[in-house]
């Protein structure tokens, strides 16, 4: 099996280096910056994406902003700027609030940068450990050697080791996964661009399918289980994930196929208890009318482009976290 040489982001020599995911799989281009606004823009443009990685990037961006100006006003301006980059992924707000707790407790302004940098690195390291534990707990979902269907991207590009992808990878390494179907994940094709890239890098057998192909595979009994990630999970287990996830959960219910989610506990928002409370990000119609800047229909046509949908808890067979596998009805501890 190949050793992964790619990475989502790394902090070295006072700057953040990140892989521009919008250019994959054709170009692996890394960008290095110490400008928090450049990082904020990268999150908005999905150069940096994946709920856990967004949170890590925001933590480093906030740290960099305080390097030369550690005033309270600058902290608040930067905090608020980063908080509006992506409204649905709760990991972003979790990470920013972790940084704020550290900042508010500091007695000496001269240590602000060092202390925030230490916390940002801790968040990144903890995410890597959580991904490893999720993979371990995820082995219990396999009852036989399985064909898995997944949606969007949940690998090392989205988290420090991956969420759902880490379960798939470890399952393959342990002889529990034989094949993976990767939804292309329209409109931005995170499946056909990013998940296919990571499956290929890890030499896991796979095929890309259009999002609308999934139902036919269920009818032919070619899918043993589905596993995806999540961007926000409510206290009762409802989950928001990339648009198209709810379709799969409904298909699983009808065809009696298990549907699982893998996500760290930082994705669980215990302040809300129903999917109707999850803010859903609406993105530009240009993502539907064009691909890589090339128009595929008229730019003037109206489009509805929610980035996420929600899956009610009762459709989810289990939620895999670093603390274990939870099943319905969900009571997170």
* Segment 122-154, tens digit of pLDDT: 999 999 999 999 999 999 999 999 999 999 999
- Which one of 110, 132, 154 terminates a domain? 132
Instruction: Identify the three-state secondary structure at position 157.
Output: coil
CA pair distance 263, 266, nearest whole angstrom: 8
**Structural domain count of the chain:** 2
Looking at the structure, tell me whether residues 168 and 203 fall in a common domain. Answer: yes
CA pair distance 283, 279, nearest whole angstrom: 13
Q: Which of 34, 183, 231, 269 is catalytic?
A: 231
**Confidence band of 1 (pLDDT split at 50, 70, 90):** very low
- Which one of 100, 132, 164 terminates a domain? 132
**Inside any domain, residue 306:** yes
pLDDT of residue 146: 98
Higher pLDDT, 45 or 332: 45
Looking at the structure, tell me whether residues 194 and 314 fall in a common domain. Answer: yes
- pLDDT above 90 covers what percent of the chain? 93
**Inside any domain, residue 331:** no
Looking at the structure, tell me whether residues 119 and 240 fall in a common domain. Answer: no
**Inside any domain, residue 332:** no
Looking at the structure, tell me whether residues 289 and 172 fall in a common domain. Answer: yes
231 is catalytic: yes
Over the stretch 72-116, which tens digit does the pLDDT of each residue have? 999 999 999 999 999 998 999 999 999 999 999 987 777 899 999
Domain limits at 196? 136-326
**Inside any domain, residue 2:** no
Instruction: Identify the three-state secondary structure at position 333.
Output: coil
Looking at the structure, tell me whether residues 143 and 94 fall in a common domain. Answer: no
Averaged over 16-41, what is the pLDDT?
97
Looking at the structure, tell me whether residues 27 and 141 fall in a common domain. Answer: no
Looking at the structure, tell me whether residues 71 and 88 fall in a common domain. Answer: yes
Looking at the structure, tell me whether residues 146 and 263 fall in a common domain. Answer: yes
- pTM here is 0.94
Looking at the structure, tell me whether residues 109 and 79 fall in a common domain. Answer: yes
- pLDDT above 70 covers what percent of the chain? 98
Averaged over 211-229, what is the pLDDT?
98
- b/e code 61-91 from CB counts within 10 Å (16+ = b): bbbbbbeeebeeeebeebbebbeebbbbbbb
289 pLDDT above the threshold of 70 = yes
Looking at the structure, tell me whether residues 74 and 149 fall in a common domain. Answer: no
Looking at the structure, tell me whether residues 157 and 71 fall in a common domain. Answer: no
Averaged over 186-197, what is the pLDDT?
97
**Inside any domain, residue 309:** yes
pLDDT of residue 127: 95
Looking at the structure, tell me whether residues 293 and 170 fall in a common domain. Answer: yes
* Chain Cα centroid distance, residue 64: 23
């Amino acid at each position: 099996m190949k050793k992964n040489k790619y990475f989502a982001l790394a902090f070295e020599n006072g700057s953040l280096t990140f892989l521009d995911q919008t250019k994959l799989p054709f170009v692996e281009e890394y960008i290095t910056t110490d400008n928090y606004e450049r990082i904020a823009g990268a999150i908005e443009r999905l150069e940096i994406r994946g709920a856990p990685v967004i949170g890590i990037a925001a933590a480093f961006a906030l740290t960099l902003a305080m390097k030369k100006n550690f005033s309270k006003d600058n902290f608040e301006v930067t905090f608020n700027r980063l908080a509006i980059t992506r409204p649905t992924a709760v990991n972003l707000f979790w990470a920013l609030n972790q940084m704020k707790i550290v900042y508010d407790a500091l007695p000496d302004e001269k240590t602000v940068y060092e202390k925030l940098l230490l916390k940002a690195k801790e968040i990144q390291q903890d995410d890597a450990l959580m991904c490893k534990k999720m993979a371990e707990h995820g082995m219990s979902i396999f009852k036989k050697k399985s064909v898995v269907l997944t949606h969007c991207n949940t690998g090392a590009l989205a988290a420090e080791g991956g969420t759902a992808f880490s379960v798939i990878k470890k399952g393959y390494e342990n002889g529990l996964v034989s094949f993976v179907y990767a939804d292309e994940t329209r409109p931005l094709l995170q499946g056909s661009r990013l998940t296919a890239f990571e499956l290929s890098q890890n030499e896991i057998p796979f095929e890309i399918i259009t999002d609308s192909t999934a139902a036919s595979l269920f009818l032919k009994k070619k899918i043993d289980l589905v596993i995806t990630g999540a961007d926000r999970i409510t206290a009762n287990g409802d989950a928001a994930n990339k648009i198209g996830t709810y379709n799969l959960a409904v298909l699983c219910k009808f065809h009696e196929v298990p549907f699982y989610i893998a996500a760290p506990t930082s994705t669980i928002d215990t302040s809300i208890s129903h999917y109707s409370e999850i803010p859903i990000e609406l993105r530009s119609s240009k993502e539907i009318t064009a691909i890589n800047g090339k128009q595929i229909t008229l730019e003037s046509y109206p489009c509805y482009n929610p980035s996420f949908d929600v899956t009610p808890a009762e459709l989810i067979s289990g939620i895999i976290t670093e603390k274990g596998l939870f099943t319905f009805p969900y009571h997170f501890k």
